[in-house]
Amino acid sequence: MSKLQNWSNILVLLIATLGFGLVVSGCDSGGTSPDSNNLGDVSGAITGQVIDNATSNPIEGAKVIVAVGSLDTDGESFSATTGAEGRFAITDLPAVTADDGSDTGEDPSATYGIRVETPEGSAYRDAYRGQVELAYGNNETGAIELGANITFPLQKNNGSLSGQLGVNGSDAPLRNTELRASQNISTGFNAEGDATGGDLTVTSTTTTDGQGSFTFENLVVGNQVELYAQFNDREQLVTRKSIPDEGSAAPVNNSVDVPPFEIVDTSLEPGTDADTTQPSITFTFNRPVVENEFTRTDVPRTGTGGQNLDSEHLIDEIILLRGLKKSASSGDRINSEELNPDNFRQIDISFNDDRTELTAVPTEPLGDGINYQFIATSQGVGGLSGFGVDDSQFSDLYGLPVSNSGRAFFEFSVGADNSQPAVPSVSFNTDNPAINDDGTFADDVFDYTDETVTAPLQIDEIDDSQAEVKGYEVYYRAQNQTGRNGTGDQFVKATAVNPSASSNEFEQTFGIIPANDVDSENFDDGALEFTASVGAFPFSAEDGAYGPIEWKVRAVSINNIRGEFTDVITTGDSTQVEVDPSADITPSDSTVTVSFSEALSTSTAETTGNYTVTKNGTDISGDVSSASLSNVKAQSRTQFNTTEVVLKLNNDFTFGDNIEVEVGSSVQDLAGNGVDPDNNTATN
């Protein structure tokens, strides 16, 4: 700072909460400042006037407080109260060269914090504060001193703004909407009283009532106010008004362009998997949904057939529908297929307290691994649609409909675990009369001539340890399959199982046993009992093949992931061999031909000791020189041919001889069944 100062150009620095102006004046200085070592010979004085900014009328009873350095330090303070002319004088202020009172060796100056406390009950703020720096100068007598004459122009804050607001495009008032009033207050003045900038923005808020009415109090008189309507993260300028003098309000009657009424968020991202079978789906709106009879969520429809719309409620207009099935794993992909379109799911819906969130929750668990559609809009699938948020009665508080109601069409699936399920344990059901206690088949249950074979099986225990299981697939391999004896020797899925899955549970239902009801009659001590059937004469084939049916099972998870197959178990012929009672003798060749009901084991059929032969009552078994087996085709167009054993004898006989052949039980079929002792003799 120069030693010679023009006091009329002294810079005034203000820090104000609402703001006040300081006008600083004084007389010209012509001398120089004293040496900084002689500060004890110098004192400061601050005089001035507190006036109304709009009228310049003096303000009596205002208390002016001056503190050395700053109001926020422990420095010494001085005060004075304005009189009838609004004037004050504070003298004998100490002169220092730094805020902390230390001597810096610089030209002497002084900084003071100033606070003006307004009279109680006045229309001004309770207090104003600022800061001023004074420099040396000569007074009229030539003495060197610090001094200033400051004018405080205070602004009244008893102005008001009121009115009623409506909504453009609607007859509804702008009800229950937050408003913001903003004023810029000038906080700096030069010596001539002109504003120099340093504006401070002051805001206040209120909310319109049910009719859109509002009032702002305690606004600064003479200043312009900007009025905004608040809509979440957006706001709309309503008007700009100048606040009139005390005693009159600035009226506002405007219509506001409000932002669209929208769905701004969903708790579950469309097209994703829910991690629970009862997902809570919440739609968040940018404004509250109006509360009326239609938007009730606690009462079902009172109309009939959907015709009386005035008697319906929102809960009737929202649909949760099973959509397309999720695909299986990539190694065993199954094409999706649409399910029964009438297969709706019941839901509970509710609003939060401020009605900005609508939440839908299924009343019962949904099937995992399945796609669903939440339909609360006119967009639908297969002719089905809901009209919840599209209904004219579903609006915000301004009567505006949802502008992006298509977002209320929501597709999702349930379940996200792609782990393979555990390998099950499969066995024959010993509770079935066809199965012995040791797991073998009872006699005469299955025969190689059977056109259809039904095997009683069981899953020994439901194992959800690796992934939750919703069912089991049954595969078989039998003699009647194409390529059974060639390179196409493959297992195929059984087409008939009982119990069988429904189309509501699986993307393809044949050959799958559901595992979702452990309390059903199909369970016994934790085991899932079922049967699997195979037709078209499965024990035999037209090319002469003959053998058992092989079975294996694999688990299917709730997300249609297939596990590994079980070990193979076998269903075989359990019927004993029968002998055709009529033997065919050929005297010229000394042979006896015996026919059997099915194909035989070569080793047992060609053992001569397994046959007892008598001629006219005399045992001639010792004369049997050989036994030759001829296993002809087991099946030809559903007609079964017999298997023959030709016995060669070393004994001549004629047509008149009575030949009888008794076959021993050691002769077995290909499944290991012996000859039936009640049907083991043939005679000519």
H/E segment holding residue 605: helix 602-605
Two tokens at 298? 């606690």
Asked if the model's pLDDT at residue 614 lies above 80, the reply is yes
Residue 457's pLDDT is: 92
> Which residue shows structure tokens 């024990």?
539
Mean pLDDT of 480-505: 70
| Angstrom distance (rounded) from CA 77 to CA 69 | 9
Mean pLDDT of 401-411: 88
Backbone angles phi, psi at 643, to 5 degrees: -100, 135
Of residues 647 and 334, more confidence is placed in 647
* Burial letters 504-513, b for 16+ CB under 10 A, else e: ebbbbeebbb
Residue 285's pLDDT is: 94
Amino acid symbol at 557 = S
Backbone angles phi, psi at 150, to 5 degrees: -115, 135
Mean pLDDT of 436-455: 85
Contacts of 618 (CB under 8 A, 6+ apart): none
Contacts of 158 (CB under 8 A, 6+ apart): 123, 217, 218, 221, 246
Listed residue (216, 238, 235, 242) closest to 227, CA to CA = 238
Beta strands in 125-276 (DSSP E): 127-138, 144-154, 159-167, 178-185, 188-189, 195-197, 200-207, 213-219, 224-231, 234-242, 250-256, 263-266, 273-274
pLDDT band, very low/low/confident/very high, at 599 (cuts 50, 70, 90): confident
Residue 168's pLDDT is: 87
Listed range (135-144, 272-281, 607-616, 637-646) with the worst mean pLDDT: 135-144
CA distances from 495 to 427, 492, 501, 535 (A): 19, 9, 12, 10
- SS3 of residue 309 by DSSP: helix
Residue 223's pLDDT is: 81
200 touches 184 (CB < 8 A): yes
Backbone angles phi, psi at 622, to 5 degrees: -70, -20
Dihedral sign from CA coordinates of 605, 607, 610, 613 = positive
Listed residue (347, 322, 349, 351) closest to 337, CA to CA = 322
* DSSP states along 615-665: ETTEE-GGGEEEEEEE---S-BTTBPPPEEEEEEESS---TTS-EEEEE-T
Of residues 505 and 318, more confidence is placed in 318
Listed range (5-14, 49-58, 659-668) with the worst mean pLDDT: 5-14
| Helix-, strand-, coil-residue percentages of the chain, each rounded to 5 | 5, 40, 55
Q: Which of 71-80, 101-110, 336-345, 672-681 has the highest mean pLDDT?
A: 672-681
pTM, to two decimals:
0.46
Residue 96's pLDDT is: 59
Asked if the model's pLDDT at residue 13 lies above 70, the reply is no
Paired residues of 374 in beta bridges? 320, 410
Asked if the model's pLDDT at residue 298 lies above 80, the reply is no
* Burial letters 370-407, b for 16+ CB under 10 A, else e: bbbbbbbbbebbeeebbbbbbbebbbbbbbbebeebeb
How is residue 425 annotated by DSSP?
A: -
C-alpha 104: how far from chain center: 69
Q: Which tens digit of pLDDT belongs to each residue from 87-125?
A: 999 988 876 554 444 444 454 566 777 888 889 888 777
Residue 37's pLDDT is: 46
Q: Which tens digit of pLDDT belongs to each residue from 622-633?
A: 999 999 998 766
